[in-house]
Amino acid sequence: MNDMPSPAETKPAVYLSPEERARRKAAIDYARVSMRLEGFILDAETEELNRRYIDGEITSAEHSAAIRASVGR
């Protein structure tokens, strides 16, 4: 299942302060480590969603919805 928007559907990244970008990256890094401790490794689709969230291309709500959709929830 590939619910990620095509390049034509993506919106430009909004400006994020260095502090906000660092906060987002730290949150994603924490979640990634937590998943690895549980024995899971994130797939390329999820990592792309993470990159887009960190870079400000998608909001937290969009990120969460896309993650849930990718696992069928």
DSSP states of the chain as a string? ---SPPGGGPPPPPP--HHHHHHHHHHHHHHHHHHHHTT----HHHHHHHHHHHTTSS-HHHHHHHHHHHTT-
Q: What is the pLDDT of residues 8-65, one digit of tens each?
A: 455 667 899 999 999 999 999 999 999 999 999 999 999 999 999 999 999 999 999 9
pLDDT at 6 > cutoff 90: no
pLDDT at residue 5 above 70?
no
Domain boundaries, the chain: 17-70
Q: What is the pTM (predicted TM-score) of this model?
A: 0.79
The domain defined by 17-70 folds into Helicase, Ruva Protein; domain 3 (1.10.8)
